[in-house]
Amino acid sequence: MPRGLAAEATALDDGDVLRAVRKEFALDDGTVYLDGNSLGALPRTVAGRLAEVVGDEWGRLRIRSWTESGWWEAPERVGDRVGRLVGAAPGQIVVGDSTSVNVFKAVVAAVRLAGPGRDEVLVDAATFPTDGYVAASAARMTGCRIREADARDIPGEAGPRTAVALVNHVDYRSGRLHDLAGTTAAVHAAGARVVWDLCHSAGALPVALDAHGVDLAVGCTYKYLNGGPGAPAYLYVRRDLQPRFDSPLPGWNSHTDPFAMDSAYAPADGAARGRVGTPEILSLLALDAALDVWDDVALTAVRTKSLALTDFFLRCVEAYAPEGRVESITPAAHAERGSQVSLRCADGAAGVMAELIRRGVVGDFRRPDVLRFGFTPLYTGFAEALRAARVLGEVLAG
């Protein structure tokens, strides 16, 4: 092991301002976990909180917990906690449903907000597949055409026929970070709306939805927010758009008087207008407990560590990997990088990742040739980045 890298890893870990947060996670199995961009690690408090919810709130109070335990207000209450992490003032985010369902709500609602003659849904060509599927379905349903463009070109592609642009803040495959502020401003200048998918950025870097005038945004909570497998997603609707937000999925939970059981739909005010059916209480409250680890964490510190980790890992890969075996497809420029490193491995990438996992370095693989390593600043250290690169080098050499 090169002494310089080992000493640097130790010094960086010793100076890590987020080091104490790591103790809040169950990470005792000795693996290097670099897959938080797919499923975040378990915060230690979640199991106890879930036991309390199941045993006391569901087990003892039962139906009374909708009022006595605050279940009914949980989608908005937890939404406000997520809002702090994505730059949204209270009252603009509701937690519930899946990311896919929320993409559908947001895209259709954005088309309905568009002015006459706007019949185009502009989609990031490299988007996560489900976003593309949902956008195409939403376009068919609303009489729009779908058009793809490179996310970096969307500012110039939005035009007089564009109703909405659907863009991923961070590309799931390459880790490229796109320009939220500039793209939003350009799409608005063209008279259109923008929907941002924050799945790979929320909890990994600062997001300023309010400051940049974003119209609508969606995201999952099981990646960098550590909400657990299948944790509910969230929907952001900018405050001034809420009175005109026309959801394609009106449900009794988003009715202004849900228990009136009125046959005519009248939408609720505020973020609750984004609700549909009965909230996913167990997973929602697990997420609520998971968000406790963020209470004293500054997103600027998270971003600083994220960039330092990914920089360091890339240097370690250069030192350990045999020349020509892997190539980074993640941008080197900090302004264009999320919190993952994706390496193209043209020869046997699937087998390489399987062997890494067997040796205790957990990343993931995207066909045909991409090795992905997600760096979660709350619990990933520099010594782990060094170990991951060293093991990768050994696997590639072998």
Residues with catalytic roles? 128, 197, 222-223, 372
What is the SS3 string spanning 52-91?
A: HHHHHHHHHHHHHHHHHCCCCCHHHHHHHHHHHHCCCCCC
Residue 283 marked as a ligand binder: no
124 is known to lie in a ligand binding site = no
**E strand or H helix that includes residue 285:** helix 281-290
Gap between the Cα atoms of 373 and 396, Å rounded: 16
178 is in an annotated binding site: no
* 197 marked among binding-site residues: yes
- The Cα-based distances of 45 to 49, 92, 201, 282 in angstroms read 6, 27, 24, 14
User: Residue 14 is which amino acid?
Assistant: D
Is residue 99 part of an annotated ligand binding site? yes
Q: Flag whether 130 is marked binding.
A: yes
Sequence-distant (6+) residues with CB within 8 A of 213 are 184, 185, 188, 238
The contacts of residue 193 (CB under 8 Å, 6+ apart) are 110, 113, 114, 163, 164, 165, 187, 215, 216
* Residue 67 among known ligand-binding residues: no
Q: Is 200 annotated as a binding residue?
A: yes
Closest by CA to 198, choosing from 93, 279, 113, is: 93
Is 72 annotated to bind a ligand? Reply is no
Annotated ligand binding at 222? The verdict is yes
Report whether 250 belongs to an annotated binding site.
no
Residues that constitute the known binding site for pyridoxal 5'-phosphate? 99-100, 128-131, 197, 200, 222, 252, 278
Residues that constitute the known binding site? 99-100, 128-131, 197, 200, 222, 252, 278
